[in-house]
Amino acid sequence: MSATGNPCVLLKHGEVFLKGHNRQRFTERLHDNLRVALLGIGGSTWIKTAQNVTVLGGQGVPQEALVERARRVIGFNAVEPAVRVPSTLEEIDRAAVDALRSVATERPGCGFAVRARRRDKTFPLTSSRMERHVGARVLEEVDGVRVDLTRPDVVLTVTIDRKETYLSWTRHPGVTGLPVGSSGRALVLLSGGYDSPVAAHRAMRRGLSCDFVHFSGAPYTNPSSVYKAYALARELNRYQPPGRLHVVALGKAQKQLAVAGAGRLQVVAQRRLMVRTASELAARTGAQALVTGDSLGQVASQTLANLVAVDEAAALPVLRPLIGWEKQEIIDEARSIGTADISVLPDEDCCQLLTPPRVTTRAGVPQLRAVEKRLDLDEVTEALLDSVQVMLPGADGDGHSDADAAPGAQVSGEAVTVPQSRSAPAAAPSCAADTCP
């Protein structure tokens, strides 16, 4: 963007606008998340609140970098690079002419329209008169542009405040929704497939702070699924203040279920063990719900009867943001949020371990309990939690530091072992593995 004036970015508020008396609380959360997103950007930045708009600027920071960081913050429905000038006709005219001249250089013959909003009612021209005035000046000064009020190629927006006026002519879509953290905390069972990362992102957009738990098939599978889970969590953490990734080695417990005679109930039984373990982990980390990537009927383990059987083992609400989505819708969303290229990578998923030739579509709770009685579930769950590894995806260069680890946690490279006698920071929605049969 090249024009007279000081570069800045206008961030248009989304659902926060509808929050009435609670709006200030939501706006503060939104700005807190924006500050976290700006960590490590270099230079100095500032945030200013206008009417249903946040203005972002900085010194020594490219405007493009501010736009890129802001577009990842959930709660803004539009991100507009802009310039700010004093609220005088002379300065506004000069900035408008420079802006359209730069546009005409790249797009000769383009049609433009001016949209003015006069927040300062003492400004001498009304909004409609200001639109006509600025449009006339642009036509006088700039060659190669034309007025098109019906389907303009470029819309020059002029927002007039008491001391400053903002001009913008480029609009990027933001990630709409509620500010992350405004709805509480959840824990996500994160697999390496398409579904659970999309479910986590959808949970974030409803204001949930998310930590993640990944169940690997270790020691019977290679670590490829853990690498994928780490990469997915790292990508998802670009949309929120960073959440932790808890890695649980489930392989031995899966084998115990098989030896106990789970048979066709194996997949549902291990999913019950996952939510049971995730519930206990959530209790230790302060999460209030689990999140899964289930889509009703997508695979045999996600029939209504099987989902009911899994829920019966959970100690917390199980949220399923994708329950009515089709697979292609999920894949398309994964592409848009940047997780699809990771999800498509090969791995050894724990749900493929010890899978029977046929999986029941109507698992009964009494039959599942009968299998589980052959094990000491409390002992199995405690063993799983005692060995959990906690990682900090994004802690090495995205403005976050290993110093953000849980109080008392032992940090070693990217892994953190959390002492079980203390509570780690709050967790996020947990998505059940979405590659189960």
Q: pLDDT digit string (tens) for 164-217?
A: 999 999 999 999 999 999 999 999 999 999 999 999 999 999 999 999 999 999
Ordered alpha helix ranges (H), 237-303: 251-259, 266-285
pLDDT, residue 4, reads: 67
Greater model confidence, 417 or 288: 288
* Residue 373 C-beta-side C-alpha neighbours within 13 Å: 6
- Rounded Cα distance between 432 and 199, Å, is 10
Cα 376 versus chain centre, distance: 38
Q: Count CB-CB contacts under 10 A for residue 417.
A: 15
What CA–CA distance (Å, rounded) separates 132 from 113?
10
> Of all residues in the chain, what percent carry a pLDDT higher than 70?
89
Looking at per-residue pLDDT, the higher value among 403 and 293 belongs to 293
- pTM comes to 0.87
pLDDT for 421:
30
Question: What pLDDT is recorded for position 222?
Answer: 93
pLDDT at 425: 32
- Decide: helix, strand or coil at residue 123: coil
For residue 352, the model assigns a pLDDT of 72
Q: What is the pLDDT of residues 289-313, one digit of tens each?
A: 999 999 999 998 899 999 999 999 9
Identify the pLDDT of residue 205.
Answer: 98
Structure tokens, 374: 């052959």
Q: Which pLDDT does position 394 carry in this prediction?
A: 81
Q: Which residue has the tokens 């606008």?
A: 17
> What is the average pLDDT across 406-414?
33
Q: What rounded mean pLDDT belongs to the chain?
A: 89
**For the packed helices 266-285 and 304-311, what is the interaxial angle rounded to 10 degrees?**
40
Are 146 and 112 contacting, i.e. CB atoms less than 8 angstroms apart? yes
Residue 355, token pair as written in the block: 């899978």
The predicted pLDDT at position 50 comes to: 81
> pLDDT for 61-73, tens place per residue?
999 999 999 999 9
pLDDT in tens, 102-148: 999 999 999 999 999 999 999 999 999 999 999 999 999 999 999 99
pLDDT value, residue 401? 36
Q: Which of 233, 255, 256 is nearest to 245 (CA)?
A: 233
Q: What secondary structure does DSSP assign to 291-355, as a single string?
A: E----TTSSGGGSHHHHHHHHTT-SS-EE-TTTT--HHHHHHHHHHHT-HHHHTS----GGGTT-
Could you tell me how many residues make up the chain?
Answer: 437
Band (pLDDT 50/70/90 cuts) for residue 407 is very low
